[in-house]
């Protein structure tokens, strides 16, 4: 496992350097993993890295897990990002780090770069992610004694951007994100095939070695199938 | 139908709270949820409600969500059963 920095095209101004976690391996495939988004990203991170470890050690598949600009360790301003800038970043990362295949995890499936064999693990629409974040926002406001309606919050977010569950999202991000769907040409890996329930559902970030085994095996099988 | 809703709801809570298999079977009507379990914050409740919508085939308005319905397992189950009945009647 090796942390590295890669040059990322900036949405405005100078290119920035973003963080990625790289696992080297003996085989010739390199998998770019676009991480799950927002809170799901935190809940899925350990499983994602455990899958990288298994891919390298047991299946000879190298992988790289970059940060999306504005997320995780990134110093970029999240409020300036859009789904398009995220996708540009992932295209640049795939090119620079020599990706041969791409995996999108949950909402990461919305911004996988085109032009690579692509697998989406439990993909989800932008609308669905946004709906849940808006609901959490409304519930938190209510706990704080403020009554807000989801529709009003969304209207305001579309006009002026919003801090949603701790994430600063610009108006351009919101309008693009709510219409976003995973690319239809990607292969889909459904949670039901892995055994156990999706770790993104957990209230607390968690781990599941059996799911990591099953997910790594399914990804390795898919990469092998792509080569055949 | 009511029994199905009960089982589905226990399965959802198992997934959201990361319970061991079978642990949710011990939930009684007065088992405390929101306000009793620290991990069940607003983000987790939002996830729980969205999962209920998807697995029970219901739609939940924000107006319908109140502290009483979320406070105990019995409160949540009663709400879920009413909503699934409504959804079924609307289909028929």
Is residue B19 included in any domain, yes or no? no
| pLDDT band at B23; cut points 50, 70, 90 | confident
Residues A67 and A93 sit within 8 Å (Cβ to Cβ) = no
Positive or negative, the CA dihedral B66, B72, B74, B80 is: positive
Is residue B26 included in any domain, yes or no? no
**Which chain B positions have a beta carbon within 8 Å of A197's beta carbon?**
14-15
The verdict on A202 touching B (C-beta cutoff 8 Å) is: yes
Closest to A65 (Cα-Cα) out of A114, A16, A19: A19
Longest C-alpha distance within chain A, in Å?
59
pLDDT, average across residues A4-11: 86
| pLDDT (0 to 100) of residue A13 | 61
**Which chain A positions have a beta carbon within 8 Å of B51's beta carbon?**
201
Q: Which domain holds residue B86?
A: 2-14+33-91
Q: Catalogue all structural domains in chain A, each as residue range(s) with its CATH number.
A: 2-124+185-227 (3.40.50.1820), 126-181 (no CATH)
DSSP, residue by residue, A172-195: HHHHHHTT----TTSEEE-GGGTS
| pLDDT (0 to 100) of residue B38 | 85
| pLDDT (0 to 100) of residue A63 | 98
Window from A23-32, B40-49, B71-80 with minimum mean pLDDT: B40-49
pLDDT, average across residues A204-208: 89
pLDDT one-digit tens code per residue, B48-88:
999 999 899 999 988 888 888 999 999 999 999 999 999 88
pLDDT one-digit tens code per residue, A89-148:
999 999 999 999 999 999 999 999 999 999 999 999 999 999 999 999 998 998 888 989
Positive or negative, the CA dihedral A162, A82, B47, B83 is: positive
CA distance A61 to A222: 12
Residues A46 and A205 sit within 8 Å (Cβ to Cβ) = yes
Is residue B37 included in any domain, yes or no? yes
Domain containing residue B76: CATH number: 1.10.1200
The verdict on B91 touching A (C-beta cutoff 8 Å) is: no
Is residue B48 included in any domain, yes or no? yes
ipTM above 0.90 for this complex: no
pLDDT one-digit tens code per residue, A149-159:
999 999 999 99
What b/e readout covers A178-199, taking b as 16+ CB neighbours within 10 angstroms?
bebebeeebeebebeebeebbb
CA distance A118 to A170: 28
Is residue B24 included in any domain, yes or no? no
How many separate domains does chain B show? Answer: 1
pLDDT at B3 over 70: no
User: Rounded to a whole number, what is the distance in Å from the CA of B57 to chain A's nearest CA?
Assistant: 15
**Is B46 in Cβ contact with A132 (below 8 Å)?**
yes
Tokens 């085109």 locate to A114
């Amino acid at each position: 496992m090796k942390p590295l920095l890669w040059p990322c095209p900036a949405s405005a101004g100078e290119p920035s350097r973003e963080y990625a976690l790289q696992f080297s391996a003996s085989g010739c495939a390199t998998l770019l993993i676009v991480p799950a988004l927002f809170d799901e990203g935190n809940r899925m991170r350990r499983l994602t890295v455990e899958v990288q470890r298994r891919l390298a050690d047991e299946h000879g598949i190298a992988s790289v897990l970059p940060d999306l600009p504005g997320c995780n360790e990134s110093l970029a301003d999240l409020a300036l990002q859009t789904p398009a800038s995220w996708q540009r970043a992932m295209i640049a990362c795939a090119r620079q780090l020599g990706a041969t295949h791409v995996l999108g995890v949950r909402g990461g499936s919305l911004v996988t770069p085109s032009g690579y064999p692509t697998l989406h693990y439990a993909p989800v629409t932008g609308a669905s992610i946004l709906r849940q974040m808006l609901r959490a926002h409304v519930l938190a406001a209510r706990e704080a004694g403020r009554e807000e309606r989801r529709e009003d919050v969304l209207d305001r977010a579309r006009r002026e951007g919003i801090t949603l569950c701790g994430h600063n999202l610009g108006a351009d991000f919101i309008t693009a994100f709510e219409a976003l769907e995973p690319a239809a040409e990607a292969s889909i890996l459904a949670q039901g095939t892995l055994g156990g329930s999706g770790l993104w559902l957990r209230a607390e970030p968690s781990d599941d070695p059996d799911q990591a085994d099953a997910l790594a095996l399914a990804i390795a099988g898919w990469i092998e199938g792509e080569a055949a | 139908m009511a029994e199905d809703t009960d089982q589905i709801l226990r399965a959802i809570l198992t997934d959201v709270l990361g319970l061991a298999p079978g642990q949710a079977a011990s939930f009684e009507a007065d088992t405390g949820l929101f306000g009793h379990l620290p991990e069940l914050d607003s983000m987790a409740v939002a996830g729980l409600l969205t999962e209920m919508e998807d697995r029970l085939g219901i739609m939940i308005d924000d107006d319908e969500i109140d502290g009483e319905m979320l406070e105990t397992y019995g409160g949540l189950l009663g709400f879920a059963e009413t909503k699934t009945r409504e959804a079924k009647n609307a289909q028929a």
